Amino acid sequence: MTKEDTSEGAVIFEEPVKKTENYFSELAAVDVSNMIDKKNGYSYLSWAYAQDQLKRKHPTAQIITKRFPDPELGGVLVPYMRTSLGYFVEVEVIIDGVSVSEPFPVLDYRNKPIAKPTTFDINNSIQRAKVKSIAGHGLGLYIYAGEDLPIDESKIENQSQQGYQQQYQQVPQQQPMQHQPMIISPQQQQQLKDIAVQIANLTLGTGATQEAVVEQMKQIYERHKLTANMAQELADVKITEMNQELKAILDSRMNPQHQQVPQQNQPIPLFSEPGAPLQNVI
């Protein structure tokens, strides 16, 4: 940073202001739960809310929509990129000199690639890429926690077949096979994840990194034996158990005589379900 001395024409060099505050922790601590919209089982943070919160905290933040040359238009720069795999957009967000760039495929409302997108489709994907780039700086990042965790479909199928064989051996041949319980709904998955996020944040306390929150959530999933194909009845039981755990943590915070939440006994699962992590939202 420089400043010119108009009296003598000299240039005075000043030391840059050192920032002591962690901007990522500041943005990650913003509660956006009341700004989340849900559609088709997925949770979304509106780009308008994300940009509003970002600019309130960091007015000088830069949001840049990348442009690419289109060969069919003679190299004219357009806000999308056409590839053999489909169409992509990219948005870069810069805060205090730190850049996060998020490429994003052009998808429909079912999160499937669009072969021939309209300008409206491209604009929607740009806004979603913008929200993800902002989340890369901490704001609303917990919404995407675990979305990149794969599910081993072959393992689930093999375990399911073993379960069916065991069940068939136990049921007499003259009796028809029992109906399988209904699988956990997207609404139950989201409710369980929301409770897990609150428990993780309260357990770790302020200043915890997003990686620590995600790791804590994985431990919560394992402790409560949450699976992607658990029965709806069992999911309701887990929701009740986790709400009780959350209430115990909050009660301990309100009671100064207790510094730690007493460890609860592990619940006995009602159903034997194949193990698989919950599918998190996009």
Residue in 192, 190, 184 with CA at minimum distance from that of residue 221: 192
pLDDT in tens for each of the 282 residues of the chain? Answer: 445 455 555 544 445 445 547 889 889 888 888 888 877 777 788 899 999 999 999 999 999 999 999 888 888 999 999 998 899 999 999 999 999 999 999 998 888 899 999 999 999 999 999 999 999 999 988 887 755 444 444 544 554 455 545 544 554 555 555 556 788 888 888 888 888 888 888 888 777 788 888 888 888 888 888 888 888 888 888 888 888 888 888 878 776 555 554 555 555 444 444 444 544 443
CA angle 109, 114, 117 (to 5 degrees): 100
φ, ψ for residue 58 (rounded to 5)? -135, 85
Write out the two tokens for 75: 């190299």
Q: What is the pTM of this model?
A: 0.47
Task: Please state the domain extents for the chain.
Answer: 23-144, 182-282
Q: Report d(CA 8, CA 34) in Å as an integer.
A: 57
DSSP per residue, 20-41: -S-HHHHHHT---GGGEEEETT
**43 - beta bridge partners?**
38
The domain 23-144 having CATH identifier 3.40.50: the answer here is: no
